[in-house]
Amino acid sequence: MTSVGENRPDVPNAPAQSLGVELNGLNTIHESERKGRARDLFWPWFGANVSVFGLSYGSFLLGFGISFWQATIIGVLGIVISFLLCGFISLAGKRGSAPTMVLSRAMFGVDGNRLPSLLSWLLTVGWETVLTSLAVLATATVFTQLGWEGGVATKVVALIVVAALIVAAGVIGFDLIMRLQKIITIVTGVLTVIYIVLVLGHIDLGAVAALPAGDAPRVIGGFVFMLTGFGLGWVNAAADYSRYLPRSTRSSGVVGWTTFGAALAPVILLIFGVLLAGSSKELNTAIAADPIGALASLLPTWFLVPFVIVAVLGLVGGAVLDIYSSGLALLSAGLRVPRYLAAGIDGIIMIAGAIYVVFFATDFLGPFQGFLITLGVPIAAWCGIFIADIQLRKRDYHDEELYDRRGRYGSIRWLPISLIVIGTVVGWGLVTNGSAEWLSWQGYLLGPLGLGGKEGDWAFANLGVLVALLIGYLGTLIFSRAAVKRQEEAA
């Protein structure tokens, strides 16, 4: 049996056959395979974000030196707004029935789109590596607290089990992922509620209320960190899970269920995480080194095993969506192999990265923040371009020509590529990652623009992410209107 429609521009609408493994790749989903309702999007998005890791963001956010109310307000706004961007991009999946990085060709051209596809691949592979590493570290920490072996042997076994779950789901594909995410949603949702009830006694409202308020640069920095830590990490994959929906599905439902499913758990977990971290300086410090392991230290012994289950499943839920989308992004970047093989290749890279993080890295938070902000800048520019294009576009995509460099979308469109380059250059000049030495070159515009340099008040506000988003959005809205109109009017 062949992989019909897999990387074959000549048959973008060919229906894929199946022997359990999804054979659809970059092709447009055939009409006969489009199924489901908008509310089905709730399960993959909730399952990917109902992780106790979300509690750790309370500590990360307070690290900006802000108060409980500041952290709560900007945290909720950052989560909801960032996932609303995912909801808008999900519309393109419903309108085009193709992966996100194929639909992006309408903006960048069939060949020009390889640049954002490569960026998307780096981001998703990085995220799946982070989540896998956290699952392994959490398992080892909990085993140690139980008095069991929590050393190298446990980490190796945990890595094998976790990686096997993630890679298997990524290789088998969409239908398994949708079923798996529903199970993960139910199990982790129930166990997370139990966790919250068990650790309520550790909250010190007096200590939380005494947290001093931060100034504007700190508030903005925290807000941008929440954008990059949540929805901006998913925008490049948002249409991958709506592309199977019938094109008659209501657009408001696609946006609403994506945003609601993705944001619900993180909002609750963040607020509770701020309360926990604000109650104890020791816990706040411990979370930076081992986010989930530190949260386990608050639990009674009898709940440690269920905690491992909820921690690992929540992280696996996010990593599964990442490896699926990273495989699609790798194909869109130019690799000509079946989708399931691309997912397998990403799995190997993920395992190698996790081995480094688990066995050799000495710090988690510094490299993690550096990774988020550095890739968050070009992805924000791409997101701005995509959102503006959706706003300008009045018709569905022309399916066949998304695969034909001689068609209406062309080979390379230099304006959006220039916007990504400009947004990235300006954006990197307005962010800093002081805890990651290899990124010390960033922030080169903070001094010339009178923002206090790399040590000033605005150094950690991460303005570059917002600026890159605006450059991509406004540049497309102003200068691409005529090009989009020509595309839609082409014979």
**What's the confidence (pLDDT) of residue 363?**
66
Q: What are phi and psi of 435, to 5 degrees?
A: -85, -5
pLDDT over 90, % of the chain: 55
> Which two structure tokens, joined as six digits, stand for 125?
């592979």
Confidence at residue 11, expressed as pLDDT on a 0 to 100 scale:
40
Model pLDDT, residue 317: 85
Cα separation, 316 vs 381, in Å, equals 28
What does the mean pLDDT of the chain come to? Answer: 88
pLDDT, tens digit (0-9, with 9 covering 90-100), for 260-277: 999 999 999 999 999 999
At 441, is the secondary structure helix, strand, or coil? coil
Q: Cα separation of 40 and 47, whole Å?
A: 12
CA-CA-CA-CA torsion sign (384, 239, 51, 354): negative
Predicted confidence at residue 372, as pLDDT, reads 73
Q: What is the pLDDT of residue 437?
A: 73
Report d(CA 447, CA 426) in Å as an integer.
13
The model's pLDDT over 96-121, given as tens digits with 9 standing for 90+, comes to 999 999 999 999 999 999 999 999 99
Q: Summarize pLDDT for 33-50 with one digit per residue, the tens.
A: 999 999 999 988 998 888
> Percent of the chain scored above 70 by pLDDT?
94
Own/partner long-range contacts of 325-328 (Cβ < 8 Å, ≥24 apart)? 325/99, 325/100, 325/120, 325/124, 325/236, 325/237, 325/240, 326/120, 326/121, 326/124, 326/125, 326/128, 327/170, 328/25, 328/26, 328/99, 328/100, 328/101, 328/237, 328/240
8 Å CB contact between 187 and 313: yes
Residue 294 · residue 263 · CB < 8 Å? no
